[in-house]
Every structure is written in C-alpha cells, then in structure tokens.
Structure 1
Amino acid sequence: MRLSLDSARRFARDLLVAQSVPEDIADDVAEHLVEADRCGYASHGISILPNYRKAIETDNVNIDGRATCALDRGSLMVFDGHRGFGQHVGKTVMQAAIGRVREHGHCIVTLRHSHHLGRMGHYGELVAAAGFVLLSFTNVTNRPPVVAPYGGRVARLTTNPLCFAGPMPNGRPPIVVDMATSAIAINKARVLAEKGEAAPENSIIDAEGNPTTDASTMFGEDPGALLPFGLHKGYALGVVAELLAGVLSGGGTIQPENPRGGVATNNMFAVLVNPELDLGLSWESAEVEAFVKYLHDTPTAPGFDRVQYPGEFEAANRERAADALDINPAIWRNLEQLAQAVGVPVPKG
C-alpha cells in the first residue's frame, strides 16, 4: 500500500481521535509516527497504532495526559508526563528545554511517567533544527523486562535507548544517533515477527538461553530475551541509561518492587547544549566539515558504496519518502482492522 503523507497523517490522527484522544495530542502523535516511517523505522511508525489501542482499552495510557513541570531551577527542569502519549509529552518537554537553552546556553531536563516516547531521534532532530545538541537516555518501566544482561539467560533490563543529535554545517543533515542498548528494539522484533522475517544473528535467545533468529520467540507464552548489543559494552550502557533516566527523573527503574503489569512507561534524562562556544562558530563549522570529509573519503569495504555519518541514512529515507509512504501489507491489514473496529474510513492508496 502506498499512501500520501497527508493521508497517512490524517488516517493516524483520525484513528486516535475516534478513541477520544484530544485533537492536538492526536496531531502530535500522528506527525511523529509518520515521520518515523519516513525515516525508515516502521517499528516506531503507524504500525504501532493497534498496540496503542490496547493501551487505551486497558487504561495504560492517559489519553489526555499532558506534561507538567514539577521542578524549575532555570537550566534544570523536571517534568511529569502523567502517563500521556509520549509523542505529545516529549515534544512539549523538548520545546521547553530548547527555550531554556536559548536563555542559558544549556539545559538539563528529566521526564517521568510518560507513555511510549516513540522514536527518540525525532526529539534529536527537533533540538538540532534549533541549532543545539542533545544527549538523552531513556528507560522503560511498567512492563516486564525484555533484555538479558551480559552473561545472563533471563531478561532483567529493557531496551533503554540513548540518543545524540546536533546540527551539521553547510546544509548537511543533522547528525543523529538513536539506538537501543539491546541488539534490536522490541518493536523491531514485533515487526519482524509480523512479517515472518528472521531476526539478526546474536540478537535473541529463547527461554533456555539458546541463540535464535525467530523473532516470534519474544511474544509466546514462554518468551525469550533480547541480547544487549556489543556484549558487555551495550549492557553497560543499558545500565547507565536505567540509572540516569529511572533514578534522576524520579520515575523508577525496572527492579521488581516497581509495577510491571502494564504497558511501557518511559522516563528520560537529557542534556541540551548550545554548541556556539567561545571557540568561534566559523572554526567549529570548518572543523566539523573537515571531519565529515575525512569520514566520507574512507575507502569502502566490500559490499558498501560509501561511508556515511550517523543521520545520513534517515535523511536519505526521508527524501525518498518525500510525498508518500510504502506500507507493508501485514501492517496495512492490522491498520484496516483497527479502522473497522473504531469506525474510521480507510483511505485509498
């Protein structure tokens, strides 16, 4: 199915509004999801809307939840998301933090009790578009763990993503690093399972701790676990994200005394910085440009046509999807079923 961007946004928005989500919140969620699809991340795009319906039906998301500031110390702000849709709550928080960077040159911001924040690179791109740099860490609570620690065969962590983003000189796309500290994201495993496609090697273990490429292993009665990326290194970063996001936000960690019976709740710790320091903007731009050229000039390994910096992949995908989205048939069937259930007309491709 090929759907224009306007139709995709309108369809996603209408599916949410039909479930009593306020229009402005539905607009933010729809925009975020469609942009995730444009960037090449179907796992965080409109494919997730059927899962959001389950969260609404089970009261695991507050459909009109909005971010409130619990602590304001100028360049330090603490927000509570009140279980609202993360794509709206996260946008509100990042816009507030961007305003503080304009005042102070930097800002530390935390967010607790947000429903699924979505694609973290989206917030990095918001910050980069304002001319600033973002470093964020996110953890996941209110659901069972899905990631085994290094050396373990039972899940103890979640995917705990980190994000780094910032502007690049001379009209280049922003640098964007957005990655789970697991080998693959749980939503990536979900999409692979729905498509019947194999997961990458060394990304999943079954309930006995044996390696498998069957993504559906994660969703059975006796689920397996995702593995951390990079062995002990990804595991260590996952622990750091858990502590920074879970403890400093006040939202809690995945430890078993905290609730686990619901749907993913995100907490976040982020630092935003204005990169225009006393070194001088012209020098910084020239230095970054020289470094990018140095990377681009790298001789390529077999099977590669060029070396990219992080963020060019997303920019190229966004350009290819400048007018429309190509939606996988399995994902489209799920969306059609959702539309029928909530009484929303299905757009024609």
Structure 2
Amino acid sequence: MAYQDAYKECIWLDFATLERFMKEALINYGVPAADAEIVGDVLIESDKRGIDSHGIGRLKPIYLDRIDEGIQSPTTKIDIIKETETTAVLDGNNGMGHVVAKKAMQMAIDKAKQHGMGMTVVRNSTHYGIAGYYASMAINAGMIGMTGTNARPSIAPTFGVENMLGTNPLTIGFPTDEEFPFILDCATSVTQRGKIESYARSGKELPPGWVIDENGNTRTDTAQVLIDLTKGKAALTPLGGLGEEMAGYKGYGYATVVEVLSAALQDGAFLKALNGTDEQGNKIPYPLGHFFIAINIENFMGLEVFKRIAGSIMRELRNSKKAPGEERIYTAGEKEWLAWQYRKEHGCPVPIALQKQMCQIRDRFKMNYVFPWDK
C-alpha cells in the first residue's frame, strides 16, 4: 500500500502555512511571539516525522483549550530552584511545556559540554509535545539525549484496572553515521492517548487490547474511551499488554521509573495529582514533571567512532533475516525519516475533524487564511 493511501480522506497542506498558522493562533491566545515560535516548531516537527498524534492535531484540544479554560498560562515564567555545575531544578509555573522543556534540555547540553554530562528536571510544567524533539537537540550537539515526562493518569498497573500512571515516555536518542539518528520515542503503554485521539478524528475503532474497562474487559469504542479515560472508567494497558504472560509488568515498571524521575527529584506532583480536576470536579492545571539528560560522547570516545559503531549496529539489525512475508526490518527513527522524505514534498495530511478545528480558530480571530478545503 502506498504511503499516501493511509490518508485518503485528508487534504494535504504545506508545512510553511501550517507552522505560520499555529504561531499566529498561539499569539492570538496570548503566547508571546518567541514562545509561539518554539511551540510551533515542536508541533510541526511531529507532523514532519509522521507522528500525527502530537502535531497540529493537539494545538486546539490540548494547548489552546486549556489556555481558554484558565488551567494553563500562555506566558511561561521559568524559575531556577537549584543549580550545580551538572544539574538543575526548574519550575515552569504552569506555562507552555515546550518552552520550559527546550530551556531545560539546552541547560543539560551546555553542562555536558563543560563537564561531560548534564541533567535537569522540571516541575509545574505542562504537556511538552514529542519527547524526541528534545533528544534531537542533544543529538544535534553530538550527544546522547534522554528525556521523560509524567502525564495525567492513563495506565493501569499490572493486575489492576484503575488508571494510575501516565503514558510516561522514556525517550533515548543518539547520532549515527547514517542519514538519520536513532530515536526511540514511545509511550510505556501499548498506545498513547494522542493516538486514540487520532483514531477518533478518523472515526476508527480501537484495536482490542489497547484499553480496558473497570472489569478488565477490552474496549474499542474510541470516542467513549476518550471520555471514560478522564473519568477513571477506562485505562490503557501497559507496554506488553495485560498480565504477566505478555510481560505487561515491564511497561508498568518503566512507566513507574519515569513517574519517579519526573516527580521525586523536583518535589513535583504525581499519579492522581495529575488528574486535572479538584475534589469538586472543577478543572485545574496538570502540573507535569520532566527530566532531561545530555551525555557528551567526546568525553568517552571520539564522536565519529561512536557514530560509525552505532550505524553499523543499525545496518546489521536491518540486514538480519526477515520473517516470512516481511519486506524490511526498521530501526528506531527510520520510519519517521521515511515519512519526512515523502512529506517534505507533499506537506501534512489534515483530516476533516482537524480542518474544522482550524476553521474555528481562524474564524474566531478573523485570521487571513483560505485553506484548500474552503474551495
């Protein structure tokens, strides 16, 4: 099946228009221009890589709506609570997560340049987009990058049915001598909320095994699942799946690691404190925590040697014996690079539900845009 066949009901829009629209929309919502540039850059990077669950599709329902509701600040005040030569603790004061995250990773990189390694942690932040963006910052500096973040409760512990942990990605990236780096950026659940939102926009049912109800039964009704996840009546399964037979305890364990590193080092909120509602059910901020690690490869081995060995490992993996009927083996980051090879010529696919959201934003602020679907 051709790549574009998966987007038959979408209209493709060029990235320049898409990024400009997001920046202008954010500014209209009170985000300073420089910060809007950062947020737009993180979101557009997701769409360029084919990660439709975390790009412009989240602009309105995650960021703009939360600003409207008063549970996220459009301006980002960053306080440095504690700092050493190799570490720092930051407070994002419920501002734009992308902005504080970019500063935190840059601080980790700067410290690694001087001392070989740097680690920063953040509290009172908000959703920061794709974690791979920040790992890429370290890669571009010739380093290994790691990051993770907690999130509102979604995952049920192994043998449990209550959503307790966030999707909590544990993300690692490093350079290779190939055209693309290695970036492992994925949730510690079987799927993530953003992908379910993407399914909802496309009107598709969920595959069995992604979500369970309060009795441990699988759920596939996408739209209602999104509602019930927020009410605690549904939960995502951890990476590996249900129970011990499919090793779901591994995803549960890694999600817990991310939860601890995203909360305990910075005295931040965790688990049910990230639900986004108070005891009366009123909406309140999601005070998320993040961590960022940069490792300077030159402090261990020459960068080119590292890249050659890392690249050789990737090539040997891809050239290993394939399963019957399979055309190729991929390594982490490759599919995103391939998506970009197509999308840089064709733009970003915009499904009908997203078209409507963009029109709502445009019309509200009388923005000067005529989209392809208007014709």
Match of 2:169 among 161, 164, 181: 161
Structure 2 vs 1, CA of residues 100 and 191 (structure 1 numbering), >3 Å: closer, same or farther? Answer: same
Q: Is the 8 A contact 1:175 1:310 kept in 2?
A: yes
Specify the SS of the correspondent of 2:264: helix
Q: CA deviation at 1:344?
A: 2.2
The whole-number CA distance in structure 2 between the counterparts of 1:66 and 1:322 is 34
Structure 2 vs 1, CA of residues 283 and 27 (structure 1 numbering), >3 Å: closer, same or farther? Answer: closer
State the match for 1:44 in structure 2: 54
1:22 aligns with 2:32: yes
Structure 2 vs 1, CA of residues 129 and 278 (structure 1 numbering), >3 Å: closer, same or farther? Answer: closer
Q: Is the 8 A contact 1:67 1:93 kept in 2?
A: no
The whole-number CA distance in structure 2 between the counterparts of 1:264 and 1:301 is 43
State the match for 1:316 in structure 2: 338
Q: CA deviation at 1:285?
A: 3.6
State the match for 1:294 in structure 2: 316
State the match for 1:304 in structure 2: 326
Match of 1:86 among 97, 104, 108: 97
Structure 2 vs 1, CA of residues 119 and 304 (structure 1 numbering), >3 Å: closer, same or farther? Answer: same
1:137 aligns with 2:157: no
The whole-number CA distance in structure 2 between the counterparts of 1:264 and 1:187 is 16
Superimposed CA distance per residue, residues 278-321 of structure 1 (whole angstroms, 9 cap, x where no aligned partner): 44445434422331221121122234321121011111112211
Q: TM-score, normalised by structure 2?
A: 0.86
Identity rate of aligned residues, in percent?
28
Q: CA deviation at 1:166?
A: 1.0
Q: CA deviation at 1:226?
A: 0.9
Superimposed CA distance per residue, residues 186-213 of structure 1 (whole angstroms, 9 cap, x where no aligned partner): 1111121222112233110134321122
State the match for 1:102 in structure 2: 113
The whole-number CA distance in structure 2 between the counterparts of 1:243 and 1:60 is 24
State the match for 1:254 in structure 2: 271
Q: Is the 8 A contact 1:18 1:344 kept in 2?
A: no
Specify the SS of the correspondent of 1:322: helix
Gaps of 5+ in 1: none
Q: Is the 8 A contact 1:192 1:215 kept in 2?
A: yes
The whole-number CA distance in structure 1 between the counterparts of 2:325 and 2:207 is 18
Q: Is the 8 A contact 2:109 2:141 kept in 1?
A: yes
The whole-number CA distance in structure 1 between the counterparts of 2:304 and 2:197 is 45
**Residue pairs, 1:1-349, within 5 angstroms:** 1-51=11-61, 52-140=63-151, 143=152, 145-169=153-177, 171-220=178-227, 223-230=233-240, 231-255=248-272, 260-261=277-278, 262-323=284-345, 324-349=347-372
Q: Is the 8 A contact 2:175 2:307 kept in 1?
A: no
State the match for 2:244 in structure 1: none
The whole-number CA distance in structure 2 between the counterparts of 1:257 and 1:123 is 22
Superimposed CA distance per residue, residues 127-164 of structure 1 (whole angstroms, 9 cap, x where no aligned partner): 11111111222112xx5x22211111121111111100
The whole-number CA distance in structure 2 between the counterparts of 1:287 and 1:9 is 36
Q: CA deviation at 1:346?
A: 3.2
The whole-number CA distance in structure 1 between the counterparts of 2:226 and 2:300 is 52
Superimposed CA distance per residue, residues 21-65 of structure 1 (whole angstroms, 9 cap, x where no aligned partner): 111111111111111111111111111122122201121111111
Q: CA deviation at 1:255?
A: 4.2
Q: Is the 8 A contact 2:144 2:172 kept in 1?
A: yes
Q: TM-score, normalised by structure 1?
A: 0.92
Moved more, 218-227 or 89-98: 218-227
Q: Is the 8 A contact 1:217 1:224 kept in 2?
A: no
Specify the SS of the correspondent of 2:89: strand
Structure 2 vs 1, CA of residues 127 and 200 (structure 1 numbering), >3 Å: closer, same or farther? Answer: farther
Give the letter for the 1:151 counterpart: F
Moved more, 37-46 or 216-225: 216-225
Specify the SS of the correspondent of 1:270: strand
Divergent runs of 4+, >6 A = none
Gaps of 5+ in 2: 1-10, 241-247, 279-283
The whole-number CA distance in structure 1 between the counterparts of 2:154 and 2:300 is 44
Superimposed CA distance per residue, residues 232-291 of structure 1 (whole angstroms, 9 cap, x where no aligned partner): 110111111111111112212114599744354321122210122444445434422331
